[in-house]
Amino acid sequence: AQTVTQSQPEMSVQEAETVTLSCTYDTSESDYYLFWYKQPPSRQMILVIRQEAYKQQNATENRFSVNFQKAAKSFSLKISDSQLGDAAMYFCAYRSQGGYQKVTFGIGTKLQVIP
Amino acid sequence: EAGVAQSPRYKIIEKRQSVAFWCNPISGHATLYWYQQILGQGPKLLIQFQNNGVVDDSQLPKDRFSAERLKGVDSTLKIQPAKLEDSAVYLCASSWEGTGGETDTQYFGPGTRLTVL
């Protein structure tokens, strides 16, 4: 079974600075998807960024980018120019490519943005 | 495009009572998921539907939890009888399964916060 590990329960960053959230996963599959989701205090979970394992190029969405290291099974999220609205829980998730494509979530990292 | 709808947003019940949650996925999304999110934890998949068929319910406590997705559209999750440890947020999500585009992205509803006293 796949597992997703987020080793940073809480992180803080100064407004306008850069922060990196860590995620590692364990799998025997070669093809899969990885996601970062954001969950603000209102609890609506929204997608931040996704990465297909077969793509070597790291995904980027505006101020959000990932560092995908397939061999190391590492998938970190970098937030540049942090804003107050970035404060939330961030969940790393893994999705199988085959079968019924089950999704496994990490336990999350709480990000605090300091004005 | 309308998002995933869930109701109610909040529910407080006493242990041993019954409760039901409703979810309406994004139009055209064939796959529907129910997650349980206990405070301080990540979402745990309870059940996954593909159209109106169940593809994964391995973590659903079947002695008290049940779910259905009649006609392959909206879905209901029921707990009967509820226990204290069922206090959590119940999230519904849906995704479109096809070729190309954002085929593997789940879109989440706002969740239902359940408190069992």
∠ CA A10-B90-A11 to the nearest 5 degrees? 5
Structure confidence at residue B72 (pLDDT):
82
Structure confidence at residue A102 (pLDDT):
76
Structure confidence at residue B101 (pLDDT):
47
| pLDDT at A44 exceeding the cut of 90 | no
Mean pLDDT for chain A overall: 92
**CB distance B94 to A85 below 8 Å:** no
| pLDDT at A114 exceeding the cut of 90 | yes
Q: Which of A39-48, A65-74, A106-115, B74-83 shows the lowest mean pLDDT across its residues?
A: A39-48
Question: Which residues share a beta bridge with A20?
Answer: A78
Mean pLDDT for chain B overall: 91
Distance in angstroms (rounded) separating the CA atoms of residues A62 and B63: 46
| pLDDT at A78 exceeding the cut of 60 | yes
- Dihedral sign (CA B55, B86, B91, A87): negative
Contacts of B58 (CB under 8 A, 6+ apart): none
How close A102 gets to chain B, by Cα (Å)? 8
Q: Which residues from chain B sit within 8 angstroms of residue A95, using beta carbons?
A: 104
Q: What percent of chain B has pLDDT over 90?
A: 72
| pLDDT at B102 exceeding the cut of 70 | no
**CB distance A103 to A2 below 8 Å:** no
CB contact under 8 A, B106 and A47: yes
Shortest CB distance from A100 goes to which of B42, B44, B48?
B48
How close A32 gets to chain B, by Cα (Å)? 10
Phi-psi region of A97 (alpha: psi -120 to 50; beta: other; left: phi over 0): alpha
| pLDDT at A61 exceeding the cut of 70 | yes
Indicate the residue type of B92.
C
Residue B105 touches partner A, C-beta closer than 8 Å: yes
CB contact under 8 A, A43 and B104: no
CA B61 to chain CA mean position, Å: 13
Residues A105-109 have a mean pLDDT of 94
Residues A54-80 have a mean pLDDT of 94
Residue B8 phi/psi, 5-degree rounding, is: -75, 175
Q: Which residues from chain A sit within 8 angstroms of residue B108, using beta carbons?
A: 37, 44-46
CB contact under 8 A, A100 and B104: no
Residues A77-95 have a mean pLDDT of 96
pLDDT confidence of B35, banded at 50, 70, 90?
very high
| pLDDT at A1 exceeding the cut of 80 | no
| pLDDT at B90 exceeding the cut of 70 | yes
Contacts of B84 (CB under 8 A, 6+ apart): B15, B116, B117
The torsion angle over the Cα atoms of residues B70, B71, B75 and B80, rounded to 10 degrees, is 0
Shortest CB distance from A100 goes to which of B50, B106, B108?
B50
